[in-house]
Structures are given as C-alpha cells and as structure tokens.
Amino acid sequence: MARSSTRPTSRDVAQAAGVSQAAVSLVLGDKWRGRVSETTAERVRHAARELGYRPNLAARNLRLGRTRTVLLVVPALTTEFFAGVYTGAARVAAEHGFGVVLYPSPEGVGPARDPFASAQAALDGVLASSMAADALTAIRGDQLPLVMLDSDPAGSLGAATVNLDIADGIRQVADHLLALGHRRVLHLAADVPSWTFDIRAKELAERLAAVPGTEIRTARAPISIDGALTATETALTAPGPRPTAVVCDDDKLAAGAYKALRRLGLRIPDDISVTGLDDLALATAIDPELTTVRLDAELFGERGMQALLAVLEGREPDGGDIPVRLVVRGSTAPPGAPR
C-alpha cells in the first residue's frame, strides 16, 4: 500500500461524510449521542475508516477518564527478546497511566490485518521494531505518533528512533576473534531485510577488512535452528579452506550452527569457534556456553517508551544508543586450540 504524502484531516472526513467538522469531532470523540443521529455517526465512522483518518492525539489534550493506549509492533521472531522489550515499555507506560498492547506481526515480517479497525479503538502512539515495519502501513500505524526501534535514524518512518549500539557489539565480537588469532570467518547472517541486520554485516566486514590476511564468507539463514543448521552445513562443506570461527547474527542461529558442527564431527571451540548476539537464555543452555553480545531488552523497551512519551508531549527525546556488552564464554578459543 502506498503511503499517502498528506495525512487525512477531519475536514476530509467531514466532506466525505457530508457533515460539519463539529459533527466529526463529536462522533470520533464519542460524544455524539443525543446530538447527531445514529445514521450520521455511522456515516462519519465509515468515512474515517475509508480515509484512514486517525485523530492527531499528540496535538490534543489527553482524554480525561479514558485509558491511554500504545501499540507495540514486533516481529514474531526471537520472542524472548521482544518479551523483554514489552516488559520495559509496559513498566514505563504504567508509571504514566498508559497501557501497552503487544501486536506481533504475522510470519515475523510483512503486512497484517488491522486489529484496531473499530472507530471506537483509540491509540495514542506506536512503538515498532524495524523488523516489523511492513506491518505499519497495513495497520496505519505510520499515521500515528511513532517511535521506531532498531531502525536507521536517517531513513526512519518515525518521529524518533531508539537503538541498541549493535555496531559496537559487532566490533567487540570481531576484535575478540581477531585477538584470538582468527582470520577466516563465516558470517551466519539472518535472512531478514532489516536495518539492524544490514548494520551487523557492514560492521563485521569493515572490522575484518582492516586486518591483513582476513577472509569472510557469508551464509544466509532464516532465524530458526533448522535454517541455521542447513546453511552452516552447506557453507562448511563447500570447497576451500574451512573458516575457524562462525559469527552468528542471533543466538538461535548459533544453536543451529552448533548442531551442524556436531554433525560434521567438529568440536567447539577446539576446531571452530562460535559467537552469537542477544544473550538469550539459550546461550547458557547449550554446551559449551555461548560467547555472545548481551542486549538489555528491558532497557530498550523503557527507552523506547520514554521517547514516545516525549514525542506525545512535544519534547525532544533523549539521544544516544544503548550500550551493549560482549560476554565471553566457552564457545571461543584460539584456532586449533588443544582439547
């Protein structure tokens, strides 16, 4: 669906419904009973739905006596991480009298049917992960006050962006492996079109290219253990020198890589090192425990909600990416380290 360059106004709704702007305000403000007819009210609601009109809630006074609601749009991927994002966002929202509705985009990415088609549903704003950005136009979330998470600040749909310092996390991974002596790396990349994964690939390539004698090979996989297993097995049985380290975009990909390496008879980290990114519970459930980058999902959610509250109140959100930290565990060692 093409995004309209001009946001529909109450005047547009009034013209489409053949009523005054005052009538539109009464109906959409749910104050019409006894003042306009049921037939007129339905005509206004129909026109608003057809035009995709939403009141500019950031520009009006907060409604008295009604629950304020924010929509959190996330991919149905790496759900443990986004559960943390929700927890942090809901905590800050509750402190300010807001509720948060979690809306996972079907299939992880892509458009979705509008769960708020009813004219009685009121949303004050939207928090959305860039991985689920395609769902925004389908639910018209891009026409509400919007803060984007893990999104390119230069090309964001939103009024503000909040990011984890993923680039620095990848630099920490690369520096750790280079310091151990690794020069041949397989990048097990998430096969998801998203800025956050583009940044991982770019930073890893640049960091390795700065050191003479390095070689990077890329294998793409959906964020699933089976997908990662297949991609890793294919990449490591291809002709040429075998990589000594596998850098995974996500801990779930790393778990799939573990299975592939064991099928191939390779020991971790003796024959090959593996790193992840997220520090999910999975990272310490696998053996050896996974060297990975810890992302503070709850703080991410808190900062996202704080930014959205600032947008709603006409303030400038706090800037700066959220720091991340490499956690070194048993899955990395120098190449060819003895058992």
Q: What percent of the chain has pLDDT over 70?
A: 83
Per-residue pLDDT at 23: 83
The mean-pLDDT minimum among 70-79, 202-211, 229-238 falls in 70-79
Per-residue pLDDT at 27: 81
- Alpha-carbon dihedral 78, 79, 84, 86, rounded to 10 degrees: 130
256: DSSP letter: H
Per-residue pLDDT at 262: 97
Q: Residue 88 pairs with which residues in a beta bridge?
A: none
Judged against a pLDDT cut of 80, whether residue 77 lies above it is answered with no
**pTM, rounded to two decimals:** 0.76
Question: pLDDT tens, 263-291?
Answer: 999 999 999 999 999 999 999 999 999 99
Q: In which band, very low, low, confident or very high, does the pLDDT at 79 lie, cut at 50, 70 and 90?
A: low
Nearest to 168, CA basis, from 297, 324, 277: 324
More confident residue, 205 or 48: 205
Judged against a pLDDT cut of 80, whether residue 133 lies above it is answered with no
Question: pLDDT tens, 238-252?
Answer: 999 999 999 999 999
More confident residue, 157 or 62: 157
Q: In which band, very low, low, confident or very high, does the pLDDT at 173 lie, cut at 50, 70 and 90?
A: very high
Q: What percent of the chain has pLDDT over 90?
A: 51
Per-residue pLDDT at 233: 97
Q: Which amino acid is at 29?
A: G
Q: In which band, very low, low, confident or very high, does the pLDDT at 185 lie, cut at 50, 70 and 90?
A: very high
> Are 221 and 257 within 8 A, CB to CB?
no
Nearest to 195, CA basis, from 162, 146, 241: 162
Judged against a pLDDT cut of 90, whether residue 336 lies above it is answered with no
Per-residue pLDDT at 174: 98
The mean-pLDDT minimum among 31-45, 112-126, 301-315 falls in 112-126
Per-residue pLDDT at 78: 53
> Are 150 and 301 within 8 A, CB to CB?
no
Judged against a pLDDT cut of 80, whether residue 314 lies above it is answered with yes
Per-residue pLDDT at 316: 87
Which 3 state secondary structure label does DSSP give 264?
A: coil
Judged against a pLDDT cut of 50, whether residue 170 lies above it is answered with yes
Per-residue pLDDT at 209: 95
Got the DSSP string for 155-201?
A: S-SSSEEE-B-HHHHHHHHHHHHHHHT--EEEEEEE----HHHHHHH
Average model confidence (pLDDT) across the chain: 85
The span from the CA of 213 to the CA of 209, in Å, is 8
Per-residue pLDDT at 266: 97
Q: In which band, very low, low, confident or very high, does the pLDDT at 126 lie, cut at 50, 70 and 90?
A: confident
